Copies of this chain bind each other. A is one copy, B any other.
Amino acid sequence: MYNFRNDYSEGAHPKVLDALVRTNFEATAGYGEDEYCEAAAKAVRSRFACPDADVHFLVGGTQTNYTAITAFLRPWEAVIAADTGHIAVHETGAVEARGHKVLTVPNADGKVTPQALEDIYLEHTIANIGHMVHPRMLYISDTTELGTIYTKAELTALRQMCDRLGLYLYLDGARLASALTAEGNDLTPEDLPRLFDAFTLGGTKCGLLFGECLVITNPDLKPNFRYCLKQCGGMLAKGRLLGVQFLALLEDDLFLKLGRHENQMAVRLTQGLLAAGYPLYAQGPTNQVFPILSRALIARLEQDFTFEFIARIDPEHDAVRFVTSWATEIEAVEALLGALGKA
């Protein structure tokens, strides 16, 4: 069985696992107040060129998103996301469960445009002040849910629009390593603090057992975050597990190496699919590939490959998703292409 279900099917990358094993019997303070978390935070600040940022480590992505939104917004303030956005669709209403409306705008290849942002802001502020939620933050993800990436120019334009409208700009970087190493990407780690009020660096989908890193660069958003972290269930008792893993992930830019690998595997797969004549539901340069396949073919593939259903296209075809990871081997990709044959 070859795995293309997602990028978190295996355990940890060997270097990460080694770090965990090596430090296993040490006794440290709990709740992220240990030297490993401190060192990892320092490494993040250094790599992302934000010496004054607050850095927090959490276990999961949904948890990170709603904890940050809970900490950053007041009850009547809303977060804007693409209609494909993870917080809007795939987090079981976790943001709403903490009291905030998620306003959605039509996505453009998974991305939010400045125009869509301005439109929804105006809709909520041109009249009826007090009777509608007040948009206060833009949530985007890079890579997007459709595997596409933002260019630096696009992000700069969003940043400018956010500044004009008084919005925080938040990046869900669950697959940031993939985005930063994709073909066509012109964004560097050092660009992020200038563009975002807060951003995350995802570990779960990049070779950690688990772990998301939240970097808060806007000083207004820093105070009291740890109260929220605890209240939202995100404070890990053996918090140093997060520090140990992120330290390993940042060493020698391991996260970028893993991102690059998974992109290469996906690009090969995309090229093969296109060459074979399969239409794509969405196309990007990162580690998610979305072909449209006949149900008969899907049933056949399921015998040897794991992957996910995305959407019903017509009575005979579905869009599915193949995801590559740090652990995906080229043999698996070739086997999949072989099984796909010609469209």
On whether the beta carbons of A231 and B91 are closer than 8 Å, the reply is yes
On whether the beta carbons of B61 and A8 are closer than 8 Å, the reply is no
Q: Which of A107-115, A233-241, A256-264, A295-303 contacts B (4 or more CB under 8 A)?
A: A233-241
Classify chain A's interface size. Answer: 35 or more
Cα A209 to Cα B59 with chains together (Å): 12
Residue of B8, B62, B228, B233 near A230 (CB, 8 A) is B62
From A21, A128, A133, A241, residue with most partner B Cβ within 10 Å: A133
Q: Knowing A99-B97, A131-B230 are in contact, say whether A60-B235 is a contact too (CB < 8 A).
A: yes
On whether the beta carbons of A130 and B229 are closer than 8 Å, the reply is yes
Cβ of A202 to closest chain B Cβ, rounded Å: 10
Cβ of A243 to closest chain B Cβ, rounded Å: 12
On whether the beta carbons of A230 and B130 are closer than 8 Å, the reply is yes
By secondary structure, the A interface counts as loop
How many copies are assembled?
Answer: 4
From A25, A26, A97, A234, residue with most partner B Cβ within 10 Å: A97
Interface residues of A in 18-40 (CB under 8 A from B): 20-21, 23-31
Cβ of A279 to closest chain B Cβ, rounded Å: 20
Interface residues of A in 92-118 (CB under 8 A from B): 92-94, 96-102
Nearest neighbor of A65 in chain B, beta-carbon distance:
B233
Interface residues of A in 265-302 (CB under 8 A from B): none
Which chain B residues border A67 with CB–CB below 8 Å?
233
From A3, A17, A28, A131, residue with most partner B Cβ within 10 Å: A131
Q: Which of A47-55, A68-76, A151-159, A186-194 contacts B (4 or more CB under 8 A)?
A: A68-76
From A98, A100, A309, residue with most partner B Cβ within 10 Å: A98
Cβ of A130 to closest chain B Cβ, rounded Å: 4
Interface residues of A in 172-190 (CB under 8 A from B): none
Cα A251 to Cα B307 with chains together (Å): 33
Cα A20 to Cα B71 with chains together (Å): 34
- A78 lies within 8 A of chain B by Cβ: yes
Q: Knowing A17-B21, A233-B63, A237-B61 are in contact, say whether A10-B30 is a contact too (CB < 8 A).
A: no
- A330 lies within 8 A of chain B by Cβ: no
Q: Knowing A23-B11, A92-B133 are in contact, say whether A210-B231 is a contact too (CB < 8 A).
A: no
Residue of B8, B11, B96 near A20 (CB, 8 A) is B11
From A6, A11, A17, A59, residue with most partner B Cβ within 10 Å: A11
From A128, A205, A227, A327, residue with most partner B Cβ within 10 Å: A227
On whether the beta carbons of A97 and B231 are closer than 8 Å, the reply is yes
Which chain B residues border A122 with CB–CB below 8 Å?
312
Residue of B5, B209, B241 near A29 (CB, 8 A) is B5
Which chain B residues border A94 with CB–CB below 8 Å?
230-233
- A42 lies within 8 A of chain B by Cβ: no
Which chain B residues border A10 with CB–CB below 8 Å?
24-27
Cβ of A40 to closest chain B Cβ, rounded Å: 16
- 5 closest A-B pairs by beta carbon, nearest first, are A76-B227, A63-B233, A11-B24, A3-B27, A9-B27
Which residues of A are at the interface with B, using a C-beta cutoff of 8 A? 1, 3, 5-6, 8-12, 17, 20-21, 23-31, 59-63, 66-67, 70-71, 74-76, 78, 89-94, 96-102, 122, 126-134, 204-205, 209-210, 224, 226-238, 241, 306, 308-309, 312, 327
